[in-house]
Amino acid sequence: MASRSISPGGALLRASRVFSIPPPLPAPVGDMSSTGSFNSDTATLPYPTHLSITTPQSSLLKGDWGLKRPLPLRSTTKSSTPVMRIKKIDTFEHITEFGSASDHTMSLKKWHEMGIPLTTPRKYVESVIDDIQSHRSVFEDEIDYTSSGGANDAAKADTRWKFGGPWLAGQTNGEFNEYMQKEVRRRKDEFQEFLREECGKELKKEARVQQRAALADGESPEPAPETRGDTRSSTTRLVVTDEQLKVYIKSLRQDWTELYAKIRTFLDLPPAPSSENDSATVEHLHQMFNQTQSHSKDKNVSMSPYKQSGPPKTHPSAGLAYSRTASTMYNHPVFGPQATKPPVEARVIKPKGTGPTAMLGVGGFVVDTPKNSYEFSSRGDPRQKGKKPRIPTINVDLSKSGGVKAYVQPQSASIDPKGRVALRIDVADTEAVAVKEGRTAEISLPAPRQSSSVSPSGASRMLVRDDARGSSSGYGLDLGKSDSQFCLMKPPWERGQELHVVIPQQVVVTLCNQFLQF
């Protein structure tokens, strides 16, 4: 078809912003249940579906967003983040439908500030080695590509993140049946052709093996009778008779793993979830009964990092971050290079009183509380009986503006196949928090001599201050200036105000070392 000539007006339209806005992504599906679920149509979606557009300040004041008609000034100029999403460029009522896109725009900005790299999803059953494997960056060369890389590179075709077919393990029965009826059934003839080709390849391989064997025996090489044409060039298509194809199909029916591999190649299906433990057990059984098959390991066990969770819908980074690693050192302007990155303040977005567990919000993303610490548990540290948890997560704390907040250390994140962000966080380092809050004077308190009296498991110590001066505050601690005098080991009620600082022994020791060095 010859290309149509475009009128100048048409060319202008095509180059315009209106046509550069992509169609929206499908909205995320909610929970499927027979009784209906709790949701809100105006809630912030777990991932953005519309393009966010902005406009320069001068155009913003005129309402010019590069659209068909100017947007109303009253609703667009008041916001501190004038970023809009266009739901519909023109409607029947001659109105441009738009809404604020500041939610996802700000979340992205916050994510960039936190600088969290995106990794492949974590596996459920983890050994130490698996743990390292699962923390690979999504931008690693072995896993970050979409092309199948040719038929000869099976491993490459296996570990890519984008496939043509659906992930069967994540489908419901209904979806699977629909896929079978609508997609698979009509490709029956195509599959026969595909099998015929595969059969030809197989026969050629056999012929080559026979030739080699004949050469080894010293006989003159003769071409295999079944195959016609030039056997040397691989591009030549072999003619396979119906009888040969029948035999081949019969053999495939015996060998299910081979048949599955063929079907996977044909339909371009993502790898199926399989647990290494199972295959290891099978291997072990083979060895136990001394079978000869033990060396023929199942080739269909995929090395793809997405086989357990399913392939992601978009690029596995989802465009959130482009760094491969978080192994960068934070250089503090005063204290120099730091062991940990600056911690991030998280809010207790869901207290425990509303459900089974408390949940935190870190930079606009909801995460679970870190499981390796008692910091957020409602019962507190069992080693320190009677002491209430430092961060109250049971109920809303009405005395604090914006609710309870606590510092956490974001580690890494991955995107699950539904497009939701699974962020992994850790409890923030005490020293890092002190540096962040600018109260390093308090943390470097213990003198070298007194450090010997710290109990080995890390104890809560009371630092009592003479003068009462409310200056900086965090966690309900009220902390003083540099001129304040601290002394240890005195009951708090004999002094003015008290401070609770949990100082682990390592911190004390490192601090002492620093003191000695300076």
Site for other proteins in 52-71 (CB under 8 A): none
Nearer to other proteins, 127 or 181 (CB): 181
Q: Which two tokens stand for residue 422?
A: 């699974």
Nearer to other proteins, 49 or 444 (CB): 49
Angle at the Cα of 451 from the Cα atoms of 432 and 504, rounded to 5 degrees: 35
The piece of 166-174, 237-245, 249-257, 328-336 that touches other proteins (CB under 8 A) is 166-174
Applying CB under 8 A, among 165, 170, 342, 364 the residue interacting with other proteins is 364
Shortest reach from residue 313's CB to other proteins, in Å:
13
Angle at the Cα of 194 from the Cα atoms of 188 and 199, rounded to 5 degrees: 125
Q: Per rule CB under 8 A, is residue 173 in the interface with other proteins?
A: yes
Shortest reach from residue 422's CB to other proteins, in Å:
6
User: Which residue, 248, 250, 200, is CA-closest to 227?
Assistant: 200
Nearer to other proteins, 14 or 383 (CB): 383
Nearer to other proteins, 89 or 462 (CB): 462
From residue 96 to residue 135, the character string flagging contacts with other proteins as x (rule: CB under 8 A) and all else as - is ------xxx-xx----------------------------
- Angle between helix 188-217 and helix 242-254 axes, rounded to 10 deg: 90
Residues 243-302 that bind other proteins (CB under 8 A): none
Applying CB under 8 A, among 89, 422, 441, 445 the residue interacting with other proteins is 422
Nearer to other proteins, 290 or 401 (CB): 401
The rounded distance, in Å, linking the Cα atoms of 136 and 134 is: 5
User: Which residue, 360, 383, 380, 379, is CA-closest to 370?
Assistant: 360
Nearer to other proteins, 293 or 395 (CB): 395
Applying CB under 8 A, among 387, 487, 490, 506 the residue interacting with other proteins is 387
The rounded distance, in Å, linking the Cα atoms of 101 and 194 is: 48
Applying CB under 8 A, among 396, 447, 487, 489 the residue interacting with other proteins is 396
H helix runs in 349-477, sequence order: 430-437, 440-443
Shortest reach from residue 27's CB to other proteins, in Å:
11
The rounded distance, in Å, linking the Cα atoms of 337 and 326 is: 15
Shortest reach from residue 80's CB to other proteins, in Å:
12
Q: Which two tokens stand for residue 358?
A: 């408390």
The piece of 70-78, 130-138, 171-179, 332-340 that touches other proteins (CB under 8 A) is 171-179
Please state whether beta strands 405-415 and 365-368 pair in parallel, antiparallel, or not at all (unpaired).
Answer: unpaired
Q: Per rule CB under 8 A, is residue 175 in the interface with other proteins?
A: yes
Contact 367, 421 (CB under 8 A): no
Phi/psi for 346 (5° steps) reads -110, 150
The piece of 1-9, 207-215, 295-303, 363-371 that touches other proteins (CB under 8 A) is 363-371
* SS3 label, residue 131: helix
Q: Which helix (H) or strand (E) holds 337?
A: strand 336-338
Phi/psi for 164 (5° steps) reads -80, -35
Nearer to other proteins, 29 or 151 (CB): 29
Q: Per rule CB under 8 A, is residue 144 in the interface with other proteins?
A: no
Applying CB under 8 A, among 388, 453, 481, 490 the residue interacting with other proteins is 388
The piece of 17-25, 50-58, 157-165, 391-399 that touches other proteins (CB under 8 A) is 391-399
Q: Per rule CB under 8 A, is residue 158 in the interface with other proteins?
A: no
Applying CB under 8 A, among 156, 162, 332, 420 the residue interacting with other proteins is 420
Contact 239, 228 (CB under 8 A): yes
The rounded distance, in Å, linking the Cα atoms of 190 and 429 is: 60
Phi/psi for 276 (5° steps) reads -65, -30
Residues 458-497 that bind other proteins (CB under 8 A): 460, 462, 467-470, 473, 475-478, 492-493, 497
Q: Which two tokens stand for residue 29?
A: 């599906």
R_g of the chain, CA atoms, integer Å:
32
User: Which residue, 459, 349, 360, is CA-closest to 409?
Assistant: 360
The piece of 65-73, 132-140, 254-262, 358-366 that touches other proteins (CB under 8 A) is 358-366
Residue 32 amino acid letter: M
Contact 279, 301 (CB under 8 A): yes
Q: Per rule CB under 8 A, is residue 351 in the interface with other proteins?
A: yes
The rounded distance, in Å, linking the Cα atoms of 264 and 277 is: 23
Shortest reach from residue 375's CB to other proteins, in Å:
13
Q: Per rule CB under 8 A, is residue 366 in the interface with other proteins?
A: yes
Applying CB under 8 A, among 25, 330, 400, 445 the residue interacting with other proteins is 400
Contact 24, 50 (CB under 8 A): yes
Q: Per rule CB under 8 A, is residue 401 in the interface with other proteins?
A: yes
The rounded distance, in Å, linking the Cα atoms of 51 and 470 is: 47
Applying CB under 8 A, among 258, 350, 441, 445 the residue interacting with other proteins is 350
Residues in contact with other proteins, counted by CB under 8 A, come to a total of: 78
The piece of 58-66, 214-222, 334-342, 351-359 that touches other proteins (CB under 8 A) is 351-359
From residue 20 to residue 59, the character string flagging contacts with other proteins as x (rule: CB under 8 A) and all else as - is ----------x-xxxxxxxxxxxxxxxx------------
Q: Per rule CB under 8 A, is residue 318 in the interface with other proteins?
A: no
* Number of CB atoms found within 10 A of residue 515's CB: 13
Q: Per rule CB under 8 A, is residue 353 in the interface with other proteins?
A: yes
- Bridge partner list, 344: 408
H helix runs in 467-504, sequence order: none
The piece of 67-75, 156-164, 355-363, 440-448 that touches other proteins (CB under 8 A) is 355-363
The rounded distance, in Å, linking the Cα atoms of 406 and 188 is: 59
